[in-house]
Structure 1
């Protein structure tokens, strides 16, 4: 559930555009961003383990009333802003896969949110299983796409470990990638998720729990890193190929969640768009 914030349609769109504009040159931004995310997420988990309260409860206990109200308003705005790409991305996926109008897809996305919230009544483990399944579907789709376009491993590794900003829009695209990785509400989520586990009320038990949660977060964010690398690599390979038509080259200049299905359409035909649509639906 923690890695979901780094695999949402907002990340998907910024990854696609970064790959189209700079090929593999901005992969290092994803790597650094997720390393820092791991540090912050582990601090959030440790807070829940040691205090027995999640971040929102600690803020309520420690801060004055005016600051609590400001934090609450900021949290609401952050959640709304983060949810917009999810809802729109899900609607685009329904339109791509089933030709459902976008406005109906938005309503379906809202209904699915209520169903997911209702699923919590049957225990957080069932919700975690469903989320893990969605992450697996999304990862599978993009790894399939990556295996088809076959980006050069040497260039991908070079982009991952050698920081550089080449091109007029490189700085803006790097900021967009980092912005898509900054998910403040994920800290509230993580500090609450650890409370669903049984932690021994001893120093050794808490230390062990903090270590295990760090390992768990590391695995989750490593999966998120691999998926983000696959998305950027697919976009970078397809949009920088020498045989692109003028129409496809124009689309690469302004990729959106709705228009990105063409990336594999030329390779796999209709099935390429379906693979992308399934990944976008799982992401949304």
Structure 2
């Protein structure tokens, strides 16, 4: 019996030359066709997914962490942003490559690779990270509405639910219009903070020293470093980027895939460079303002526990009223654009892990409700201080959950069966594993430090302290054991993973097929290939 045909996508470029070539599984029919000619037009055809991904690096959670880093340590933690940005480019490149080469995104690979229970656990972790990412967006938007229109914080939290309508409206006009809209928001945020930077006038020598001389000194520096890493390298972005690249229709040949990887790397690096400059600007503005010799006592107190709300008043007092408004506009643009990318990531995660496709408005409402409920409770009870602390906690959750998305990505993109001849080079593999090890090491260091300090300062009796210590270290061992299992577990073997190989590679007797046949002579590999001439 013949295999069921895949969905066909007809475009203006191939309308006159009907093709029965099978598409890669689950590619949507509204793909953007990449022109064959080289030049700017080809690069512009690829431009877009990187800016959707970059929004996660300049969301309100990042601003909160950046503001506190600058206020407490001036420019001393800028090197964290530099390291995290380089790591982000490499990791996002791997996520894009996985989608480009295999035609399936990360969540789909996880469902196919892991047992049902493990896949379900990874899905739960991914959903928690998306909710944790959405909380700063809700609170940040509420703060922005308060700064611009004096709306009470808890009312602003409720109003953020209206962004669902904005997303649904944008989805009606196609992915290209959405990408353009997000890019405009990114450059709006950049323009606002570059103007702020011009007013604050930080010393360039001190900024460069903070960027290139690593240091981690002072109480709370480790916590902020973890928060910055969590805010810069986001796990849900790996799922998102591996899916967004499927919106382009590329030639399924070796050169076609190679060109796609190159152009996606260029556009991702461009978008993440803009995000890097924005984060550096936020920390530099905060560091310059809070360490100014002209600060009065009230402003110094704000700098000691700076959050998004206090930053507005601080900028108004030190730099002028319009600087406060610029900050609010940037914060509003950041919150709304982050909502869109977070919802997109949630759709792909649910579809990939559960093979379940919900209507976008249902998915958006579910995610938004899960984020609004804790944000609303904290806003009512704790006010702006409680909301600011909730943002830091959510950023730390993102950092701790990162290995559960990063490790599968590293293993999948290093698999010759999944990626064919497009597997990671030894340098890239080594670099990404070092990045993962550093993040895990920082997380464990922070956990141990925090647990020991909490036990020493607790007022519990000896038995209670011992019991809490056992629970804490047991949880840490479970965390490390889970990560170790993902690292040492062998990938599945089977012909289905050779979908990554292209027609031209198979015809030419690619080394991947030859290696597989040599290592597994008793196993048969079946390819279903349809080409047009």
Q: Give the TM-score band, short-chain normalised.
A: over 0.9
Kindly indicate whether the alpha-carbon contact (under 8 Å) linking 2:302 and 2:314 is maintained by their aligned counterparts in 1: no
1:201-280, aligned counterparts within 5 Å? 201-280=252-331
- State yes or no: 1:124 paired with 2:175: yes
Relative to structure 1, the CA distance from residue 188 to residue 39 in structure 2 (aligned partners, 3 Å threshold; closer, same or farther) is same
Deviation of the 1:260 alpha carbon: 0.8
Kindly indicate whether the alpha-carbon contact (under 8 Å) linking 2:200 and 2:319 is maintained by their aligned counterparts in 1: no
Q: Structure 2 CA distance, aligned partners of 1:18 and 1:209?
A: 37
Secondary structure at 1:24 match in 2: coil
Q: Structure 1 CA distance, aligned partners of 2:310 and 2:318?
A: 16
Which structure would you say has the larger RCO, counting Cα contacts within 8 Å and 6 or more residues apart?
Answer: 1
The equivalent of 1:11 in structure 2 is 62
Structure 1: which 5+ residue stretches go unaligned? none
Q: Which among 144, 152, 160 is matched to residue 203 of structure 2?
A: 152
Deviation of the 1:118 alpha carbon: 4.1
1:97-137 deviations in whole A, cap 9, x for unaligned?
01122233222212213421442232111111111111111
- State yes or no: 1:282 paired with 2:282: no
Count of aligned residue pairs for this structure pair? 284
1:197-226 deviations in whole A, cap 9, x for unaligned?
111100111011111111111111101110
Q: Structure 2 CA distance, aligned partners of 1:66 and 1:175?
A: 29
Deviation of the 1:59 alpha carbon: 1.4
The equivalent of 1:67 in structure 2 is 118
TM-score w.r.t. length of structure 2: 0.52
TM-score w.r.t. length of structure 1: 0.97
Q: Structure 2 CA distance, aligned partners of 1:211 and 1:61?
A: 27
Q: Structure 2 CA distance, aligned partners of 1:79 and 1:122?
A: 25
1:43-122, aligned counterparts within 5 Å? 43-122=94-173
For the pair shown, the structure with the greater C-alpha radius of gyration is 2
Relative to structure 1, the CA distance from residue 101 to residue 262 in structure 2 (aligned partners, 3 Å threshold; closer, same or farther) is closer
Q: Does 66-75 or 81-90 show the bigger shift?
A: 66-75
Kindly indicate whether the alpha-carbon contact (under 8 Å) linking 2:85 and 2:276 is maintained by their aligned counterparts in 1: yes
Q: Does 217-226 or 63-72 show the bigger shift?
A: 63-72
Q: Structure 1 CA distance, aligned partners of 2:147 and 2:317?
A: 16
Q: Which among 222, 232, 236 is matched to residue 181 of structure 1?
A: 232
Q: Does 5-14 or 123-132 show the bigger shift?
A: 123-132
Q: Which has the higher helix share?
A: 1
